[in-house]
Amino acid sequence: MDVLIGYGGVVVFLIVLLVVLQRTKGSADFSEYATAGRSFGPMFSAMAFVNTWLPGTIFIAFAGYAASAGAIGFYFVAYSILAVVLMFLLARPVHEWGRRFDLRTQADLLGLRYGSTPVRVIAAVIGAIASFPWVVLGMQSLTLVFEYLSFGSVSATVAALIGIGVLVVRQWWTVRLGARGLVISDFVQGVVAYLFGTVLILGLLTWLLTNGHGFGEVKPSFFTLPGPGSAEGPLYLFSLIATGALGGWCWPDIFVRLFASNSTKSIKRAAVMASPLLVIFGCSLCLLAMAASTLPGVADAPDEVWFITASVGGPLVLTVAGVCVLAATMGNVGANLQALGAQIANDVVGPARGTRVEDPRWGKVSVAVLTLLAGAVAVATTDVLSSGMVALAQVSYQGIVQLAPTVFLGIFWRRGNAAAAGSAMVLGFATACVLQMLYPIAIPVLGGMTSGVAALAVNVAVYVAVSYLKPDDEDERRRVDELFDSLHTPERMAR
Amino acid sequence: MAPPVARPPKTRAARIVLAIAVLNFVILLFPPLTWIVGQGGVWFFVITGVLGVLSLVVMYRVDAGDGEQ
């Protein structure tokens, strides 16, 4: 009976979602497919950002970190706030350039800014390489959902296959509808995951606090942050927050959300609307995880804290908890696949064929191939801990942040050029990969700095040095000046 | 190509928005601040989170008042 409630809840949620998606219209051309025709207002933009920004594993690995380590687990709230502040600053240049030059992807924007196809292709390839392991992990992250909601009826392996199957089938609509379908489904998924989710979190937190699991019972060390003399090192927390904030806008799926908004004002309003949701949801979830750390079983399996806590409410509450994770995961995996598919079609296939992609079929084929590939890898590496997929994902996070100097200095500083961007990205990515292999957690001699942040120092130094030592010629400087000046003048530039 | 236009001066509102953004980064990324909070790790994140939300509201109002959007 319980399994009917659990899996029945998932089916009801999927039916609601599919009804909404079936009413969504398709795309007439590639630009529409990749950017939803730059048509969404602040409400949809805010929820699309939140649903893409927070992966489903926020309820699993992130909550688990707070349940096992305490206050440091809140670091994602801090970097989320900084990312929203950056979203506010990025709004004008990204939207204006996107609209005027029909930009469809992050790599497309970098290609325009630096006037360079190699920069565009390198950015697209780094984005795809770094994102793919996360798509696979996202597909596998539903294992706990289908295991708990089966109430013991299916094994972990079968639950993993069900989760992967649901996400692969769900992508049919991503392939067919592109960005428009994603933004609309993000709204439904976001409401379920983060609004219903917050209500559920507050209810469970109240139960914990009134049933002997208050913060007085939590280990005192949970309330301190790592500093000088700590095991992690004094710069470890700084590194986590910096990587999250700067790396966030380097992910192609996050960045492309800016292109779906209908104006600069909409993006800025979306930033203002997203911030309280991120803070209230994030802080509530971490507080819940810390309070629940004293529940039996949580110390042994902190990643299951969300499900163990929801179990106290019976099958219905556990089902709602599972659906929250499913909704959050769908938003993130779908966004990733759509953005990567569009980027490969637009910024790798297009330049290779020497044409600008206009047919949406290129995007659809690209997203479909990526979905099947990710599904196959997810099935082949179901035993995720022994497959090395987690290690690969950690490397990729330190790698993706190496796009940050090229993205931010490119958008806010006129002097940066293609030579600087290309050399900084390649050297930064290589340095991050090597350091991550040598120091998977943190680098002790650098005060606990992570590999990505250490490589970022090399990256920025190379970018600035090359920008000054190998300046652009007069024509390119004038082109870049016009590009920046176009943000303050009526439309007059052509691509 | 059209002749270059003079770079527009930064408005007061743009400077305020930038200053608030920088302040947020300093508060959340200046390591000594997280070292001195002692047992107040949770409060540090809750308070900085609320400050971040308020900052964005102020940035939006200042920006809107300048007609920048």
Which residue segments constitute the domains of chain A, with CATH numbers given? 2-394 (1.20.1730.10)
Q: Which chain A residue shows the shortest CA-CA distance from B8?
A: A488
Q: What is the pLDDT of residue A134?
A: 86
Identify any residues that bridge with A261 across adjacent strands, giving them in sequence order: A40
Residues 242-261 of chain A whose Cβ lies under 8 A from any Cβ of chain B: 242, 245
Show residues of chain A in contact with B2, CB under 8 Å.
482, 492-493
Residue A491 confidence (pLDDT):
59
Task: Count the neighbouring beta carbons within 10 Å of the beta carbon of residue A214.
Answer: 12
Give the residue from chain A lying closest to B67, CA to CA: A265
The amino acid at residue B7 is R
Q: Residues with Cβ < 8 Å from B1, sequence gap 6 or more? A: A478, A479, A482
| Least CB–CB distance from A88: residue in B31, B46, B59 | B59
pLDDT(A403) > 60:
yes
Task: Confirm or reject contact between A237 and chain B (CB < 8 A).
Answer: yes
User: Which among A53, A37, A47, A45 has a CA at the least distance from the CA of A104?
Assistant: A37
**Cβ atoms of A450 and A240 closer than 8 Å:** yes
By C-alpha distance, which of A100, A160, A63, A127 is closest to A370?
A: A127
pLDDT in the model for residue A204: 98
Instruction: Report the sign of the C-alpha dihedral through residues A277, A281, A282, A287, in that order.
Output: positive
Residues in B closer than 8 angstroms to A228, CB to CB, are 35
**A495 → chain B, closest CA residue:** B1
Pairwise CB contact (< 8 Å): A225 & B57: no
Distances (CA, A) of A105 to A34, A88, A217, A403: 8, 18, 49, 14
CA distances B17 to A114, A153, A351, B11, B62, Å, are 27, 55, 38, 10, 7
Contact B42 A287 (CB under 8 A): yes
pLDDT at A356 over 80: yes
> A155 vs chain B: nearest CA distance in angstroms?
37
Pick the closest to residue A434 from A402, A389, A387 (CA basis): A402
CA distances from A210 to A205, A207, A216, A230, A296 (A): 9, 5, 12, 33, 16
Q: Which residues of B touch A88 (CB under 8 A)?
A: 17, 21, 56, 59-60
Task: Decide: A81 and A278 in contact? Cβ < 8 Å.
Answer: yes
B contacts of A242 (beta carbons < 8 Å): 29
SS3 A116: coil
Nearest CA in chain B to A264: B69
Q: Whole-angstrom Cα distance, residue A441 to residue A448?
A: 8
For the stretch A431-482, pLDDT in tens is 998 998 899 889 999 999 999 999 999 999 999 999 999 999 999 999 999 9
Cβ of A424: how many Cβ atoms within 10 Å? 28
As given in the structure block, the two tokens for residue A107 are 């790599």
Above 90 in pLDDT, residue A66? yes
Q: What percent of chain A has pLDDT over 90?
A: 70
Tell me the three state secondary structure of residue A435: helix
Q: Residue A493: pLDDT band by 50, 70, 90 thresholds? A: low
pLDDT at A12: 97
Q: Is the pLDDT of residue B4 over 60?
A: no
Q: What is the DSSP string of A232-299?
A: S-TTHHHHHHHHHHHHHTTSHHHHGGGGGBS-HHHHHHHHHHHHHHHHHHHHHHHHHHHHGGGSTTTT
- The C-alpha of A247 sits at a distance from chain B's nearest C-alpha, in angstroms, of 14
- A contact residues 410-469, partner B, Cβ 8 Å cutoff: none
Cα torsion at A36, A38, A39, A45 (round to 10°)? 90
C-alpha distance from residue A11 to each of A3, A18, A26, A102 (Å)? 12, 10, 24, 39
Whether residue A490 has pLDDT greater than 70 = no
- Cα–Cα distance between A99 and A96 in angstroms, integer? 5
Whether residues A223 and B56 touch (CB distance < 8 A) is answered with no
Report the residue of chain B nearest A486, measured CA to CA. B5
Interface of A with B in 4-43 (CB under 8 A): none
Compute the distance between CA of residue A145 and CA of residue A190 in angstroms, rounded to an integer.
17
pTM of the predicted protein model: 0.92
Residues of chain A neighbouring B29 (CB-CB closer than 8 A): 82, 238, 241-242, 245
- Write the pLDDT tens digit of every residue in A9-47: 999 999 999 999 988 887 778 888 889 889 999 999 999
For A279, which of B28, B34, B49 is closest by C-beta distance? B49
In this complex, the residue of B44, B46, B52 whose CB is nearest that of residue A85 is B52
Contact A283 B49 (CB under 8 A): yes
pLDDT for A100 beyond 70 = yes
Nearest CA to B24 out of A261, A51, A279, A72 is that of A279
From A353, A313, A380, A418, select the one nearest A139 (Cα to Cα).
Answer: A380
CA-based angle A280:A281:A287, to the nearest 5? Answer: 85
Structure tokens at A388: 């090395």
Alpha-carbon gap: A109 to the closest alpha carbon of chain B (Å)? 20
For A458, the token pair is 């090399």
pLDDT interval class at B17 (50, 70, 90): very high
Span B47-65, average pLDDT: 95
Q: Which of A115-124, A195-204, A349-358, A419-428 has the lowest mean pLDDT?
A: A349-358
Check CB contact of A479 with chain B, cutoff 8 Å: yes
Instruction: Tell me which chain B residues have a C-beta less than 8 angstroms from the C-beta of A261.
Output: none
Interface test with B, best of A79, A272, A489 (most B CBs within 10 A): A272
**Residue A358: exposure state from Cβ atoms within 10 A (0-12, 13-18, ≥19):** exposed
Tokens matching residue A385: 């801990």
User: Which residue in the set B24, B31, B68 is minimally distant from A235, CB to CB?
Assistant: B31
Most confident by average pLDDT, A392-396, A475-479, A490-494: A475-479
A494, closest residue in chain B (CA to CA): B1
pLDDT at A176: 86
Instruction: Flag whether pLDDT at A247 surpasses 60.
Output: yes
Distance from CA of B53 to the nearest CA of A (A): 6
Model confidence pLDDT, tens digit, residues A109-165: 999 999 999 999 989 998 988 888 888 888 888 889 999 999 999 998 899 899 999
Residues in Cβ contact with A341 at an 8 Å cutoff, skipping those fewer than 6 apart: A175, A363, A364, A366, A367, A368, A369, A370
A169: Cβ contacts below 8 Å, ≥ 6 apart: none
A:B CB pairs within 8 Å: 128
Average pLDDT for A49-56: 92
Phi/psi for A417 (5° steps) reads -135, 180
* Predicted complex ipTM: 0.90
A77 touches chain B (CB under 8 A): yes
Distance CA A156, CA A133 (A): 20
HEC readout, A188-228: HHHHHHHHHHHHHHHHHHHHHHCCCCCHHHCCHHHHCCCCC
